[in-house]
Amino acid sequence: MNKVTLFQARRIVTMDAFQPHATHVAVQNGKIVAVGDAQCADRWGQDVVRDDRLRDAVLMPGFVEGHAHLMAGGIWRYTYVGYHDRIDPDSRAWPGLTSALEVTDRLRAQHSLLPAEQPLVAWGFDPVFLKGERLNRHHLDQVSPDRPIAVLFSNLHLMCVNSAALALVGYGIETLVEGVVKDADDFPTGELQEMAAMFPLMRRLGVDFRNLAQTEDSLHAFGRLAVQAGVTTMTDLFSTLTDDDLTLMQDVTSAQDYPLRIVPVLGATGGLPEEIAARVKTLAEHNSDKLRFGAVKLLTDGSIQGWTARVRAPGYVGGQPNGLWNIPPAQIHDLCDVMQREGIQMHLHANGDEASEVCIDAIEAALRKHPAPVDHRHVIQHGQMMDEAQFRRCAELGMVVNLFANHLWYFGDQHVALTIGDERANRMDACRSALDSGLVLAIHSDAPVTPLGPLFTAWCAVNRQTMTGRVLGQEQRLTVAEALYALTLGAAKTLKMEHEVGSITVGKIADFAVLGKDPEQVAPEALCDIPVLGTVASGKVFLT
């Protein structure tokens, strides 16, 4: 029999209703064998190794991030120039930048570090938060007139480049290309909008979004980000999985020191529903401890802040046309029909309330035809504009929801002013209504769209504060206990993994978040300030 390790902590918040708190947890072969006090492991014989490295820390179940993307790791190969503070996978803090001047200062510092032949690429830029002149090629030319520079906007639909980069493609005064923005003298400003205008430059700079996800470096960076955030189980929620990708993921995650359980959810695209179902079943044959296939993702509409989400009347407050379907309603119905028939769990991206309505309709229709499996647990992802009526239908149909709580802070003010107005913004990401309707609830970051950090996500759901300090719909606030449940067992349930992770319970995997303070004992406003010291994944300790 392998040795038993007994971890001692200042306090353990187990999230297990039968034994909510403890001070010790014993682990064998990566599984929890005992929870309790200093004597809890005694019955496992003399062969107990005491590990007191965590004695000053507070342990919680490893957090479960139910909606993130592998790119959250890979994007860090580029220089971060966003407005909000972020921490990279190597634990380096990158303070947010508040003006074009600060952006060029940071780029200049990076410029001095790069080999001469390498282009300088940055990411995370968002002019909506900046005052003063809009970033243009003149700013970037001051960083370097020779080295091509490209600054990707946080939405990845736009970029701003310098004159050297414009010259690489030959964009100039004679260029008449949609998306190449011109100044008063008819010369390109440096801003390129949408992929068609961006891609000639991207191919010349070697920027390929495909390489940000399925590479060895990205997978390792993803793992390090998880450790920093206290996350031990995380989705890659729209995976494109070639056979090569599968081999790579197996190689990386099977290493003893890989700290993360990845749940790659196959994007339902590029094939008939039957073919997608067959593919995900084949993938699931390769499941291992740290790699869990079996679900598919349907990307139904766009985003609210991009005015591409499909919303019901009265639509967008600025009179913008309704959004775009990535999968039109008839096809959503076809996919739901086949996936439910084949017993495959679906994660349905639906930002706008028309999209969530169509998803619920489609699942109801599929359930009428194929009542089994009863515990299908299809998940509405984002569900940002869902109301009580939709939640109630979800509950009756056996569905669950994963709401985008981080949006309240990052985009809440924009939603009030520009997209859907006060009334609907106040009930966005209506966590309270979801719980009151009897639903299983998870909350998420959608990293790298917003930074990975479950305690911050919990803070958003508890405080519902925007960047300007406004509270959006305080009636929809969660209690701290409810928010912590959403980060652990709630999210685990949306992945059908609550029998393995989500609480510190005998028999489950020994996945813990290692915290500097006790989330149950700090003020609700201070949830986001709790230091994360690392994780324990399958019994192995990873400290930042």
Partner 1 sequence: MRDRRLPMTVIGGFLGAGKTTLINQLLRQPQGQRLMVLVNDFGAINIDAALIESAGADMLSLTNGCVCCTMGGDLFMAIADVLDRHPRPDHLLVEASGVADPQKIANAAVAEPEMRNGGIVSVIDGENGSALLDDPQIADQVRGQISCANLIYVSKGKPGTEFLTTLKEIVPNAGFAHTAAEVTAFTELGQDLSVRVEKNAPHPAYVQWSATDDAQFDAKGLRQALMNRPTGILRIKGFVRGAGATGWLVQGVGRSIDITSIPQPQETQLLAIGLKENLNTENCHTWWRDALRRHDELSLED
Residues forming contacts to partner 1 in the complex (CB under 8 A) are 169-170, 174, 176-180, 194-197, 199-200, 202-203, 208-210, 240, 242-243, 267, 269-272, 275, 310, 321-322, 324-331, 354, 358
Residue type, 82: G
How near is the Cβ of 354 to partner 1 at its closest, in Å?
Answer: 7
How near is the Cβ of 310 to partner 1 at its closest, in Å?
Answer: 8
Phi, psi of 259 (to 5 degrees): -90, 10
CB nearer to partner 1: pick between 174 and 257:
174
CB nearer to partner 1: pick between 132 and 314:
314
CA distance 264 to 222: 13
CB nearer to partner 1: pick between 19 and 322:
322
Are residues 304 and 352 in contact, defined by beta-carbon separation less than 8 angstroms? Answer: yes
CA distance 156 to 123: 8
DSSP code for 210: G
CB nearer to partner 1: pick between 108 and 210:
210
Give, in degrees to the nearest 5, the angle at Cα 446 between 16 and 500: 30
How near is the Cβ of 66 to partner 1 at its closest, in Å?
Answer: 22
87 has which bridge partners?
Answer: 93
CB nearer to partner 1: pick between 49 and 196:
196
Kindly give the residue spans of alpha helices, DSSP state H, lying in 126-171.
Answer: 137-143, 163-169
CA distance 533 to 531: 6
DSSP string of 250-282? Answer: HHHHTSTT---EEEEEEE--SS-HHHHHHHHHH
Kindly give the residue spans of alpha helices, DSSP state H, lying in 216-328.
Answer: 216-229, 243-253, 273-284
CB nearer to partner 1: pick between 255 and 330:
330
How near is the Cβ of 444 to partner 1 at its closest, in Å?
Answer: 22
CB nearer to partner 1: pick between 132 and 328:
328
CB nearer to partner 1: pick between 31 and 312:
312
DSSP string of 75-124? Answer: GGGSEE--SS-EE-TTS-EE----SHHHHHHHHHHHHTTS-TTSPEEEEE
Q: Which of 425, 463, 426, 424 is nearest to 443 (CA)?
A: 463
CB nearer to partner 1: pick between 321 and 507:
321
How near is the Cβ of 210 to partner 1 at its closest, in Å?
Answer: 5
Q: Which of 318, 326, 311 is nearest to 268 (CA)?
A: 326
Kindly give the residue spans of alpha helices, DSSP state H, lying in 322-453.
Answer: 329-341, 353-369, 388-397, 406-410, 412-414, 421-426, 431-436
Show contacts of 250-257: CB within 8 Å, 24+ apart.
Answer: 250/286, 250/288, 250/291, 251/216, 252/216, 252/219, 252/220, 253/219, 253/288, 253/290, 253/291, 254/288, 254/290, 254/291, 256/540, 257/540
How near is the Cβ of 275 to partner 1 at its closest, in Å?
Answer: 5
How near is the Cβ of 331 to partner 1 at its closest, in Å?
Answer: 6
CB nearer to partner 1: pick between 55 and 210:
210
How near is the Cβ of 174 to partner 1 at its closest, in Å?
Answer: 8
Q: Which of 251, 238, 164 is nearest to 201 (CA)?
A: 164
How near is the Cβ of 357 to partner 1 at its closest, in Å?
Answer: 10
How near is the Cβ of 193 to partner 1 at its closest, in Å?
Answer: 10
CA distance 108 to 502: 44
CB nearer to partner 1: pick between 166 and 366:
166
The first and second tokens of residue 17, run together, are: 């209703």
How near is the Cβ of 284 to partner 1 at its closest, in Å?
Answer: 20
CB nearer to partner 1: pick between 109 and 272:
272
Q: Which of 481, 483, 464 is nearest to 473 (CA)?
A: 464
CA distance 318 to 329: 25
The first and second tokens of residue 293, run together, are: 């296939």
How near is the Cβ of 123 to partner 1 at its closest, in Å?
Answer: 17
CB nearer to partner 1: pick between 195 and 543:
195
How near is the Cβ of 358 to partner 1 at its closest, in Å?
Answer: 7
Q: Could you identify the residue written with the tokens 């813990």?
A: 512
